[in-house]
Amino acid sequence: MSPPLTLEAFRSRFLLQQPLRHTQLLAGRHAAVLVPIVAREQPGLLLTQRSHGLRKHAGQVAFPGGCRIPAMLR
């Protein structure tokens, strides 16, 4: 059995290249997700379950987040 995973070791698995900074608005749909790490003795991820009433991907387990809608821009 492998040793317990520390919070720092867990976080290091998610360190990626920094995103490119765009100076102009990108075309298409915009969305984002949050990758919340739960700091416990054995670190883990916080996931959500999508509503069963959705047309697409109903009931699936997912990261919190989603598509940006115009009402959010106000």
Residue 52 to residue 65: CA distance in whole angstroms: 16
**Against a cut of 0.85, is the pTM above it?**
no
What ranges do the domains of the chain cover?
1-13+30-74
Q: Where are the beta strands (DSSP E) in 14-67?
A: 31-33, 37-38, 44-45, 48-49, 61-62, 65-67
The pLDDT tens digits for 12-65 are 877 766 667 777 777 777 788 888 888 888 888 999 999 999 998 999 999 898
Instruction: Of 28, 37, 34, 33, give the one whose Cα is nearest residue 66.
Output: 33
The pLDDT tens digits for 52-68 are 999 989 999 998 988 87
